[in-house]
């Protein structure tokens, strides 16, 4: 489940990157009146960024190669979530005081 969550998060990141860079290029074209030049540059940058993110996604979980920056970050996030789930919930001070008084 954690790997699926990481993959979905990275997939959403790819979509946001594509939309953001292409829309940003189109907005700058309208602002500066440069025609489709900046939109094409934004599209090229979006494709490069999406390709890199897909490359990082493919490297997650491989033991023969170290993960890249995005892979390390995703591994840290999933490790923190696993550690948080493994620990039992801690009672608040009020609940702990109430429990101590009942004993």
Task: Express each pLDDT in 41-100 by its tens digit.
Answer: 999 999 999 999 888 878 877 778 777 777 777 667 767 766 666 555 555 555 666 656
Residue-level pLDDT at 47: 96
Residue-level pLDDT at 98: 62
CA distance 22 to 67: 28
Q: Which two tokens stand for residue 79?
A: 């490790």
For the segment 5-22, the average pLDDT, to the nearest whole number, is: 88
**Quick one: CA torsion of 43, 49, 51, 52, rounded to 10 degrees?**
170
pTM of model > 0.85:
no
Over its C-alpha atoms, the chain yields an Rg (Å, rounded) of 22
Residue-level pLDDT at 55: 87
């Amino acid at each position: 489940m954690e790997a699926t969550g990481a993959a979905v998060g990275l997939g959403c990141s790819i979509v946001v990157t594509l939309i953001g860079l292409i829309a940003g290029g189109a907005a700058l074209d309208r602002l500066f009146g440069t025609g489709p030049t900046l939109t094409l540059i934004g599209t090229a940058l979006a494709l490069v960024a999406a390709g890199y993110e897909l490359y990082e996604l493919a490297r997650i979980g491989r033991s023969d190669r170290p993960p890249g920056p995005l892979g390390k970050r995703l591994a840290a996030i999933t490790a923190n979530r696993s550690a948080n789930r493994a620990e039992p919930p801690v009672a608040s001070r009020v609940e702990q005081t109430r429990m101590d008084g009942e004993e």
